Chain A
Amino acid sequence: MRIREHPILDFERGEQIHFSFNGKSVEAYKGETIAAALHAAGIWHYSESDVLKRPRGLFCAIGHCSSCLMCVNGVPNTRICVTDVVDGMIVESKTGGETE
């Protein structure tokens, strides 16, 4: 959910764009990261761990913890918390085995 009113901050959002998350179209604003756009859309579950298939989501949001790795435009293991969203981008849950 996006914050419309805030007592201290004003949010200037860029141009509205769309990208694909596992085949589903998701709304985003230019200048935000893929993770931010997914969170705004209520998507917290990005992919599964390789062995135990545990759900994986956002943790550090600064590109250090590897919890948010996804396949972006065919590039596996992309840190979506530090990658800006681009119109038409294809974001997919990693399918396992990519880290090997």
Chain B
Amino acid sequence: MIREYDVAIIGGGPAGICAAIAAGKNGLKTLLIEERTFLGGQLIKQTHRFFGSEEEHAGTRGIHIAQELKDQLESLSTIDIMTSTTALGYYEDGMLTALHDEKMIKIKPKSMIIATGAFERFLPFENNDLPGIFGAGAVQTLMNIYGIKPADKVLMIGSGNIGLIVSYQLIQAGVQVIGVVEAAAKIGGYLVHASKLRRLGVPILTRHTIKKAVGSEKVEGAVICQLNENWQEIEGTQRQLDCDAICLAVGLTPLSDILSQMGCETTYIGELGGIVPKRTADLETTKPGVFVAGDLAGIEEASAAMLEGELAGLNAVKYVNADERVNDRIHHLKDELMGLRSGPVGEKIRYGLAQLYEESVITKEKIQKHQHDITQLAFTGVPSQENIDEKLPDVQRRLKPYAVIECFQEIPCNPCVASCPFGAIYIPKDDINCPPVVDFEKCTGCRSCISGCPGLAIFVEQYHPQTGTGTISIPYEQLNRPEKGERVDLFGRNGQPLGSGLVTTVLYGQKQDKTAVITVETDIKLVNQVRSIKPLENGKRVVR
């Protein structure tokens, strides 16, 4: 039996699902093929709130986005879903074959969308094949899908977003992260993620690399060393660290095998992660009617993968039905993608895309330059005092509660704007890459914005000079959530201990969605210093 479809989509991750929804909604008879037993791809492992534009799921945890998308998929009768199905090949006669339940099935689609995603890169070093050396995705699968503690003490290699996010998630799962090793001089991922780790006491070792894994049956430690400007080892800097696992987060490579089999032209573009399909701005490959989306088309954030999925789906609609009604939405999606990529963190992807088609080139004027020097932050994950001072209101205003947003890097993100019930947070120039600004005239210090920030970078402070005290409200996403009246240990931006404080309120409702907002009272001198709390170190939890 040959199954006929308007569009067959390979890959049930964020890009594939969004492609299927777009195609199915517009009446295409759609087939979605997924190799695993479940849909969602990497989305279902993402416990953090997404960056990006508020209208495109930003501020929502990846796991919840996955559920929303799956619900939408299942509500569309035009879509057939085949999980546990491996696409095998696509042939000259327009036949796609797949393996399901140990049987080969034949599919004849009028168009195709390939969204197979990516897989993790490996790193050469001595003993790198020992059990206990895991890809970051594997660690996420174990702890966030199956609820299994991956290890006790982990050394993370790579400070891109994956390395930083997985390190934070490891701590949430009760694992100790002994450090993040980064060969470059600067931290690779979003700096708010780096700051989250630093305030929990995790060192980020830039200009360092791993020399070898220690152990014979499994990992028992790691030898690291420092690198000079030419990426060469500095003699005498080798040291051995004690750990039972080494997690590699050194980048992703597109899974483009099936495209080569299909005869779609591919090319090597380092900025996009390796061998990628040649494709137009409308995501069409060199084979008419075959589209690509997501990490396969170039390694990027999941927010971009979802937009690309929809774009590919709509272009398939246009290809199959010559339906021009989708044009407006196509233009909108391209604008959104350009917005996400227009800032400094999108420079690599812009450069990569410019090698494929001209449309990606954004005029120089649109690219913002940092207004402020964030070098220290980029090297260490801890902002400079100058950076911090710029975010504070004048001394008089500090007597009433105010929000301080420690978001200094230009990254595409805006959910804080919508989270403020008083319209006190705005993004200058309407550019999603601009860091947000607080209007202290309008801010009431209500704390609504704290739990919604994907970077956990918002705090509310208040000074009480008459009593020599002050209060700080901070986001809390770890186990052993402190209660009102409890004394807690306080820590600063680089995890340094700052004494103790008293918990005065805990917000932990539906609105906070498991990111508790905890207010502590302490010495007035510490108000702008405290950025993290833990239940008292000596173990005794004292509730007054």
Contacts and interface: CB of A to CB of B under 8 A. Distances in A.
| Chain A binding surface, main DSSP class | loop
Interface in B393-426: none
A76 interface: no
Interface string A63-100: 11101000000000000011010000000000000000
B141 A61 contact: yes
B388 interface: no
Given A55-B218, A64-B119, A3 B173 contact: yes
Interface string B23-57: 00000000000011100000000010000000000
A100 to B, nearest CB: 20
A92 to B, nearest CB: 17
Contact of B138 (A1, A49, A59, A84): A59
B119 A62 contact: yes
B129 A8 contact: no
Interface stretch (B176-184, B230-238, B337-345, B476-484): B476-484
B38 to A, nearest CB: 9
A8 B174 CA distance: 12
B89 interface: no
B173 A58 contact: no
B294 interface: no
Interface residues of A, number: 35
A100 B122 CA distance: 24
A60 interface: yes
Interface string A1-44: 11101111101010000000000000000001100100110001
B95 interface: no
Contacts, number: 101
A61 B147 contact: no
B535 to A, nearest CB: 13
| Chain B binding surface, main DSSP class | loop
A46 B477 CA distance: 34
Most buried by B among A62, A65, A82: A62
A6 B481 CA distance: 11
Given A1-B148, A3-B143, A59 B218 contact: no
Contacts of B173: 3, 6
Contacts of B130: 55, 57
Contact of B218 (A44, A63, A64, A81): A44
B135 A60 contact: yes
Most buried by B among A9, A45, A49, A54: A9
A56 B134 CA distance: 11
Contacts of B174: 3
Contacts of A58: 131, 134, 138
Contacts of B133: 59
26 contacts: A1-B148, A3-B148, A7-B481, A13-B147, A32-B146, A36-B142, A36-B145, A36-B148, A39-B142, A44-B131, A44-B218, A45-B217, A45-B218, A49-B129, A55-B130, A56-B131, A57-B130, A57-B131, A59-B133, A59-B135, A60-B135, A61-B135, A62-B137, A62-B141, A65-B119, A67-B129
Interface of A: 1-3, 5-9, 11, 13, 32-33, 36, 39-40, 44-46, 49, 54-65, 67, 81-82, 84
